Structure 1
Amino acid sequence: EHVAEIGKAAVAREGSDLTVIAYSRATTVALQVARQLADEGISIEVVDLCSLRPLDRETVCASVRKTSRAVVLEDDWLSYGVGAEISATLMEGAFDYLDAPVRRVAAAEVPLPYAKPLELAALPDANDLIKVIRELLDATRFSPQATGAIATDTR
């Protein structure tokens, strides 16, 4: 039996190239993407916040200090959400370690629909997260160890 400690985030998957910070359903999406990108030589660390208040700022910042890149994934709106608080936390606690700005992936700015197909359309999915991860890695001229895994700009 596993009991999660309130106020303590969990590193759900170790990685070295980029940190995805998520909670609830978004953690499942982040783990799916991390497994998929691992096949391409991209090592994603996934931090599951586990609780939002209290927020484990130290675990989040320590992960980003290790990977130098961060994406916050949440099933909330982009504006005024938890992702904004996480981004502010990273600016205060890991700014000097970042190779690029913190990116956020969030739900559409609409009231969450009740109908399941519309709800799923409004929430971020694996493809949304992969797109932002690739943009962030490309912006920092990241090249995985596996030859030819992803194209990068070498200007």
Structure 2
Amino acid sequence: MKRTTFAAAFLLASATFLGAAALPASAVSQAAVSQAAVSEPTGSVSVAAPAKAQGDGITVSIARDEIGAGFEIAKQISALDIKQSYASFTQKSVDIAFNQAGRRYNVMIFNLDQGYDHRLAGVKVYASVRFAEIYYGLWVLEEGSFANTGDGGYRNWAYYGWFDRRGQTVFFRRP
């Protein structure tokens, strides 16, 4: 692998897992445009240029979009009212993503400042979402598990789809 491709893949992987909070926008954009293959626990994917939308206090950056719904998800979430509560924001965001993904996939949004562990398979869309001062990860996925090792409550997470929950772990299954 060429050095520039490796660097771009590293930056994109960092942006995906850290919600792009630790990287300047130019680094995320450069990494995505390189078309580098990024290896995640769920497998290897090709990443195209990200969609990005920004509303009043809400920014959504799509790092992965395998189903072509990312731009509309970003547009609708960024248009939400910034004056709403965090709980309302997370619930409305998963509802938007679920509907825009054709009501065929599971959706998880999670406050990236909290502890978590995930084993997600078939991730179709990944977005970094900033609402006020909090960065969230938003996943549209087929199946897997997501363990919240931090604080619960809708302020920190919301999910939608086909799942079972045991304690602070959600087990998603295909429809």
Quick check: TM above 0.5?
A: no
Higher relative contact order (CA 8 A, sep 6+): 1
- Using the size of structure 1 for normalisation, the TM-score is 0.31
